Structure 1
Amino acid sequence: MPGWNATNIPDQSGRTAVVTGANSGIGYVTARELARRGASVVLACRSAARGRAAEVRMRSEVPGAAVEFAPLDLADLASVREFAKAYGQRRDSLDLLVNNAGVMALPYGRTVDGFEAQFGVNHLGHFALTGLLLPRLRAAAPGARIVTVSSGFHALADVDLDDLGGDEHGYRRWIAYGRSKTANLLFTHELSRRFAAAGSTLVAVAAHPGYASSNLHAGASKLEGPTLNSRVAAFGNAFVAQPAASGALPTLYAATAPGVRPDDFIGPRFGWRGAPVRSWRAKRTFDDRSGELLWAASEKLTGVSYGSLPR
């Protein structure tokens, strides 16, 4: 693991991957490097214009790359269902699902289905997507993986199981973000536990990029306008953050490296930058009871059941 970089990615020929939010930043680099190593990659993006532009750019950077854009809006469960249906009509199996897309520290808003936006996109959208693609993942060769991108900011807050919808009047954007990232880790923990109980070879892991320059910061800044916070974020992206190519390494390691264990959390060596290593995470993200309760609530909210997995 020390010094691991994209040149260490094993051959991915014959494997198929779905990467959400693959039109820019860490998602784009993740998809490109998987394609460079021979994987067939689906670029699952909300914006058709940006998704198609990413496909064209990727083909120019990796001649012969097997990549294609497919529309996916994680803020709309109907879109998630349509994506999974379309994928199943075209492919029998899925070797790698990278739940990368996300939003960060947005002003209060709601998804199409009425969920607080950060929790709805970062957790519920990916929970539904994973469940709907689970039959294709189970049909893949042994060792198929699900990588969910969390954040070191999960340390800011635990999930509030009594207010998963988010109280508009008590809304604090960074706390809401931290809760959604804790939900990512609890989801990975509970998914790993259920795979083990089922005797499944599927591997669920999590990763975080440290502090990497990405559109997450830019997206929040555009919504809130030219404020001190947006200027600080712009300065950090330009002079402090590591580039997206480095920020993608923990995700790529989690997705491809031998020896990755179920429920691992992979991040940069020094917390915010560096080669990928197993990362610290809050003890509460290993709590079985919280994982079970979040899982049950997520199934109810999304209408997506993982009924084939034992509790």
Structure 2
Amino acid sequence: MVVTGASSGVGLAAATELASRGDQVVVVGRDPGRLQAAMAAVRAAATGPEPDEFRADFESLDEVRRLADRLLETYPVIDVLANNAGGMLGAYRKTVDGFEATLASNHLAPFLLTHLLRERLRGGRVVNTASRRHQPGGLDPDDLTGDPASWGAWRAYAASKAANILFTAEAARRWPDVLSVAFHPGVVRSNFGVDPVTRFFYKAAPFLTTPEKAGALLSWLATAPAEELRSGAYYVGHAVTAPDQRLADPALASWLWETSTKAISL
């Protein structure tokens, strides 16, 4: 089971739980220091095979390609890919590949990784971490670069989470041999956010979900019998939930798939 964004928060909690169940877990993170600390926790919890680790920065598509190469060299079968890496930026910037960085790291990078691992995922599943904050209004499949003048952190984040849900639904249509689901992890107590007010909210609000509870949901989606889940669906908790009605349009999902495929040069 490959879990990206697993050096902290929801991903770390899920990786730790899965390792404690005896599953082979591969932890993927960006920051070397946090990745080292996360691996210590995952290894301490493991009751099965030795957990593995890989480092990659999802703002670079070349790093995603190198990550995929290493995974393919190491694992003949990948049962689960949990696309959990991502976040929100404090200012507009382009990646080295020329894309708006929020959409690149939250959508294009997992889209590319999933495609590169697709053959190893036959009969397995993909779990995409989305959000209730998804809004397709800021998502233009023909413009993956964005406009600095109209850019906003929350708008870019919401568009990228809408892309996660569209990708999940279209993957289920195109790849019937791979179970694909997206989920909202809850409003999780974490270091999420880019400004002091948002960071304080995500650390101090009384109703926040713990990373462990959110990680347990990811773990359930990764391990529940396939017949208990609906491929292409968006989950809030353990229930299939309708996202923004505009995301139910197969034409929009197909449009995003085609432009994303061109963007990542597949």
User: TM-score of the superposition, structure 2-length normalised?
Assistant: 0.93
**1:233 counterpart residue number:** 199
| Selected match of 1:210 from 186, 190, 196 | 186
Write out aligned runs for 1:264-283 (5 A).
Answer: 264-268=233-237, 276-283=238-245
Post-superposition offset of 1:132? 0.6
Q: SS state of the match for residue 44, structure 2? A: helix
AA partner of residue 238 (structure 1): A
**1:254 counterpart residue number:** 221
Q: Does 1:45 align with 2:29?
A: yes
Cα distance in 2 for residues equivalent to 1:172 and 1:251: 28
| Selected match of 1:66 from 25, 30, 50 | 50
**2:73 counterpart residue number:** 89
Q: 1:186-241: CA deviations, max 9, x gaps?
A: 10011001023xxx2x1011011121112323xx23xxxxxxxx235313422331
AA partner of residue 83 (structure 2): N
Post-superposition offset of 1:74? 0.9
**For the Cα contact (< 8 Å) 1:106–1:118, is it kept in 2?**
no
Measured at CA, do residues 147 and 179 of structure 1 come closer, stay the same or move farther in structure 2, by a change above 3 Å? Answer: same
Q: SS state of the match for residue 201, structure 2? A: helix
| Selected match of 2:129 from 145, 149, 158 | 149
The unaligned stretches of length 5 or more in structure 2 are none
Write out aligned runs for 1:1-311 (5 A).
Answer: 17-62=1-46, 66-138=50-122, 142=123, 144-155=124-135, 157=137, 159-196=139-176, 200=177, 202-217=178-193, 220-221=194-195, 230-240=196-206, 241-258=208-225, 259-268=228-237, 276-304=238-266
Measured at CA, do residues 51 and 286 of structure 1 come closer, stay the same or move farther in structure 2, by a change above 3 Å? Answer: same
AA partner of residue 18 (structure 2): L
AA partner of residue 170 (structure 1): S
Post-superposition offset of 1:94? 0.3
**For the Cα contact (< 8 Å) 2:188–2:202, is it kept in 1?**
no
Cα distance in 2 for residues equivalent to 1:236 and 1:57: 23
Cα distance in 1 for residues equivalent to 2:161 and 2:189: 18
Post-superposition offset of 1:105? 4.7
**For the Cα contact (< 8 Å) 1:250–1:267, is it kept in 2?**
no
Considering only CA atoms, is the larger Rg found in Structure 1 or Structure 2? 1
Post-superposition offset of 1:158? 5.0
**For the Cα contact (< 8 Å) 2:17–2:216, is it kept in 1?**
no
Percentage of identical aligned residues: 37
Q: 1:85-132: CA deviations, max 9, x gaps?
A: 111111111000000011125321222212111100000000000001
Q: SS state of the match for residue 27, structure 1? A: helix
Aligned residues: 263
The unaligned stretches of length 5 or more in structure 1 are 1-16, 222-229, 269-275, 305-311
